[in-house]
């Protein structure tokens, strides 16, 4: 699997906020677990509280899964995952090359899928989806409050 590209606007010698990291991953099922691993590692380096990390990883997984499964895009298009940490918030976004905005749906008890955006809406402090201003596709994002930052 290709190595994701990482872009960070923070400098190791300057741990000031905001801090920003982005990963570009192939539109493939394996990229979902890769994104979870990358966010877990990044959250550890940022010293995020475990509950914030766990929730962020779960919600990122849901957004990446939706982008992988539903973003009908040309072969070779990537999924972009971006995390921005400010003093009191973690914002995580996933960008894909499909212009269809997601809508939460009510899954029945028999459905084996369809609960991802409902989880995002329940667990995130804020979330939304918007078309990209430049180019093709959309970005779906969520924010979590960071209650304790060492």
The tens digit of pLDDT for each residue in 72-95 reads 766 667 899 999 999 999 999 999
Q: What whole-number distance in Å separates Cα of residue 122 and Cα of residue 103?
A: 14
Q: How many residues does the chain have?
A: 150
Is the pLDDT at 42 greater than 80? The verdict is yes
Distances (CA, A) of 113 to 62, 66, 118, 128, 139: 11, 10, 11, 20, 21
Question: Residue 13 domain-assigned?
Answer: no
Q: What whole-number distance in Å separates Cα of residue 122 and Cα of residue 106?
A: 13
This prediction has a pTM of: 0.82
Question: Residue 103 domain-assigned?
Answer: yes
Report pLDDT digits (tens) over 103-134: 766 755 564 555 678 889 999 999 999 998 88
Question: Residue 3 domain-assigned?
Answer: no
Domain hosting residue 107, numbered range: 21-145
Q: Which domain CATH number covers 93?
A: 3.30.565.10
- The chain-wide mean pLDDT, for the chain, equals 83
Predicted confidence at residue 118, as pLDDT, reads 87
Question: Residue 2 domain-assigned?
Answer: no
| Block residue for tokens 């982005």 | 22
Tell me how many domains the chain contains. Answer: 1
């Amino acid at each position: 699997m290709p190595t994701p590209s990482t872009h960070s606007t923070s400098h190791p010698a300057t741990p000031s906020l905001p801090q920003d990291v982005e990963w570009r991953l192939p539109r493939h099922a394996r990229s979902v677990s890769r994104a979870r691993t990358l966010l877990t590692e990044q959250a550890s380096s940022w010293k995020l509280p475990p509950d914030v990390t766990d929730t962020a990883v779960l919600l990122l997984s849901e957004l990446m899964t939706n982008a992988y499964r539903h973003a009908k895009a040309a072969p070779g298009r990537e999924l972009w995952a971006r995390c921005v940490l400010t003093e009191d918030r973690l914002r995580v976004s996933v960008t894909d090359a499909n212009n269809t905005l997601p809508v939460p749906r009510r899954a029945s008890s028999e459905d084996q899928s369809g609960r991802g955006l409902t989880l995002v809406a329940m667990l995130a402090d804020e979330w939304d989806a918007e078309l990209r201003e430049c180019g093709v596709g959309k970005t779906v994002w969520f924010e979590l409050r960071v209650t304790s930052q060492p």
